Amino acid sequence: MAASLSTMALATAAKPPLLGPQILQIQSAHSTTLSLRSDQMFTAISIPSRRPSLPRVRSAGSPSHQEYETFPRSLKSRLAAGETLYGLFLLSASPTLAEIAGLAGYDYVVVDMEHGPGGISDALPCLRALAAAHTPAVLRLPEPSAVWAKKALDIGPQGIMFPMVDSPAAAAHAVSCCRFPPRGVRGSAHTVVRASAYGLDDGYLARCEEELLVMCQVESVDAVSEIEAIATVEGVDVIQMGPLDLSGSMGYLWDPGNKKVRQVLRELERRVLGLKKRQSEANAAAEGGSASLGGPYLGGFAMPHDPPEELKARGYHMVAGAVDVGLFRQAAAEDVRRFRRAEVEIGEEGHEDEKPRDESYWSEISDDGSYWSDSKPDRPIGRPVILQHRSVHSVAQRSTRPVALQHRLAVQPTCSLGNTDLLLN
């Protein structure tokens, strides 16, 4: 489009000004017509070419066939390529935090409807935010039921996680919930739901089951003895370890670091990874087979005693390293702790030789390093300036504090008083 406009502008630049209103029609290579009406000479303008918003359209077959591809590489294809994927659990059901997680670079985000407060209507804005950040979403269901699976799949996640899968029958039921009849029990409204681009994606039915990542959580004593049978159920792609519920099932509630719990988890890891290796070798030996294909993959949660890099080193294929609520809790508690510690340090040093100066909301630093008052910018008020925690409106004062403390509490030239991260770093 930009090239067409520029070419037209150059062609008309040498001509005399147009005497009256004129209509210019420009047709781009993509059959887009732009009409311009002007009383003056045309001048060169540029319209940048922007990548279309998701979902992206690709043609397949006849011109009337439209196939929507929301992500260039699916979670399944990346796992098959041998990648280790790093993810986040979203407990808050916050689209803003979902978007931040996607922009931060997580490979996937699990929108948690089992322990989070949100349901399907809360998960939908999170999926839209993640799609805008080009980040695949996995939905964890509250329970392994066909009703929840149907509603979750209709809003279009790349993966679905079933909690508390304790037997091969439960695993087979989970897979059945993700497939349309006659192979499963999933209800069909594919002509109008988000998963099929509201019916615009003609290829949805042909590929939806192949592209969906089905994850089954193993998190009970009953599941431990059945792990191979669960993992070999056709259609199960990922065995997700659940250390917290497993510790409770073993009688060590909220003690996943217990030696006995760790031993059971290591044994489960060994058995799943061994099964994966044997199936991959069998596929590689088959004619046209690939060693990278064949499940199941191993997924897990990082814990304080078991950080994500150690899970990766032990062979996990999907590692959830954090929870959004936990990240915010940790950052908030640390922020308050630093401020309270600074208050104590300030109070212990006294204020005998400090004289109040002009009140101002904040101060800016001059070229020579001194600070200037907003109310009287014609003279410096000394260096450095600190914030006084005893009043709502901070008073800029001369300080005799140690240099290290001065630097930590000095007002920054580009921040407001409300930004405690900058003030207290």
Known catalytic residues are 115
Helices (H), 105-185: 120-132, 146-154, 168-177
3-class DSSP state of 13: helix
Measure the CA–CA gap between 376 and 366, rounded to whole angstroms. 13
Q: Quick check: 197 and 135 in contact, CB under 8 A?
A: no
Measure the CA–CA gap between 304 and 158, rounded to whole angstroms. 28
3-class DSSP state of 86: strand
Q: Within its chain, how far is the Cα of 402 from the centroid?
A: 42
Q: Within its chain, how far is the Cα of 283 from the centroid?
A: 33
Measure the CA–CA gap between 386 and 410, rounded to whole angstroms. 5
Which one-letter amino acid corresponds to residue 13? A
Beta bridge partners, 162, equal: 216
How many Cβ atoms are within 10 Å of 211's Cβ, its own excluded? 15
Kindly provide the b/e burial profile for residues 276-288, where b requires at least 16 CB atoms within 10 angstroms of the residue's own CB: beebbeeeeeeee
261 Cβ contact partners less than 8 Å away, ≥ 6 residues apart? 243, 246, 247, 250, 252, 255
Between strands 297-301 and 238-241, the pairing is: parallel
Query: Residue 182, preceding bond cis, omega within 30 degrees?
Result: yes
At CB < 8 A and 24+ separation, what contacts does 397-404 make? 397/354, 397/355, 397/356, 397/357, 398/354, 398/355, 398/357, 399/354, 400/353, 400/354, 401/346, 401/349
3-class DSSP state of 58: strand
DSSP category for residue 303: B
Which one-letter amino acid corresponds to residue 208? C
Measure the CA–CA gap between 196 and 201, rounded to whole angstroms. 5
Kindly state the tokens that stand for 250: 């073993």
369 Cβ contact partners less than 8 Å away, ≥ 6 residues apart? 383
